[in-house]
Amino acid sequence: MAERNEVKLLGAWGSPFVTRTEIALKLKNVNYAFLQENLAAKSELLLKSNPAQKKVPVLIHGDKPICESLIIVEYIDDVWSSGPSILPSDPYDRATARFWAAYLDDKWLPTTRAIDTVVLAGEGEEARQAQMDKVYEILVLMEEAFKKCSKGKPFFGGDQIGYLDIAFGSFLGWLRFREKVHEIKLIHPAKTPELVKWADRFSQHPAVISVMPTTEQLITNLEYGKNLFAKVRAAYGSK
């Protein structure tokens, strides 16, 4: 096992992509130092470690930087191989997990953030519902993916949290934040009952609890969350 001073994580609190990396490190029981980045004034270490994108997360193992959250998760799985496996061992299952993880990274954030945009623009309930329907389309697909990937077991990865659990589960903090802010239900028992149960199991996992931000923390501790909450409350005419 690496010593704490050998593994550093450059991150920003509240980022689902940073949360991904932390969950993987927790699953593998890796000691690491978390270095909080100010994204408005990025550190020299971050700029040096990820000169192409200048983004977090960056995992630094010894003196080697690894960038991009899903790549970092795979790296952690490869390097700390004595811990529970994150990627499926079967090549087809591994390819399937990677496909859905890439799909989520392409679709999830722009689709969910669009709900914020239409509300703040005052486009009305019909526009908000149209954006919610787009989120539901993704969730229905993920419900079917869960049934196939889990094979009747508790997680996408089977008996234990795996690659796709981490890829999708890292968004749950912000999903629940938006449910509260907009007074909506996205992961709905009537539409995606298996995802509802999966989300509860995932959120209660020991590797997740300590790093997944709560709704209250996102509202009070993160400037974006605080501002969005205030603006949406004002747009709805409520406090």
Give the residues across from 34 on adjacent strands.
Answer: 9
Q: Which residues of the chain have pLDDT under 50?
A: 1-4, 239
My answer on whether 110 and 206 are in the same domain is yes
Q: Is residue 219 assigned to a domain?
A: yes
> Do residues 174 and 225 share a domain?
yes
Structural domain contains residue 217: yes
The tally of domains found in the chain comes to 2
Same domain flag for 157 and 118:
yes
CA 174 to chain centre: 8
- Domain stop point among 79, 102, 120: 79
Q: Give the separation between CA 102 and CA 31, rounded to whole angstroms.
A: 28
> Do residues 73 and 95 share a domain?
no
Residue 59 lies in a domain: yes
Note whether 145 and 32 are same-domain residues.
Answer: no
- What was the pLDDT predicted at 236? 72
Residues 67 and 14 placed together within one structural domain of the fold: yes
Domain final position from 79, 100, 116: 79
* The pLDDT value given to residue 191: 94
For residue 16, is it within any domain?
A: yes
Contacts 24+ apart (CB under 8 A), 113-120: 115/178, 115/182, 115/184, 116/178, 116/181, 116/182, 116/228, 116/232, 119/182, 119/232, 119/235, 119/236, 120/228, 120/231, 120/232, 120/235
Domain around 41: 4-79
- pLDDT at position 237 is 65
Backbone angles phi, psi at 59, to 5 degrees: -95, 130
What integer pLDDT is reported at residue 232 of this predicted model? Answer: 87
- Which pLDDT value is given to residue 233? 80
Using CB atoms within 10 Å of the CB of residue 125, give its burial: 0 to 12 exposed, 13 to 18 middle, 19+ buried: exposed
Q: 97 with 75, same domain?
A: no
Answer yes or no: do 34 and 116 share one domain: no
CATH of the domain at 153: 1.20.1050.10
Distances (CA, A) of 188 to 72, 143, 156, 226: 31, 11, 18, 25
Task: Please check whether residues 123 and 53 belong to one and the same domain.
Answer: no
105 and 72 within one domain:
no
Q: How far is CA 46 from CA 7, 25, 197, in A?
A: 14, 19, 38
CA-nearest of 73, 77, 70 to 106 is: 70
Please report whether residue 84 resides in a domain: no
Tell me if 208 is assigned to some domain: yes
Residues 43 and 155 in one domain: no
Same domain (yes/no): 153, 49: no
> What pLDDT is stored for residue 1 in this prediction?
42
- 86 lies in a domain? no
Chain-centroid distance, C-alpha 170: 2
In DSSP terms, 33 is beta-bridged to 8
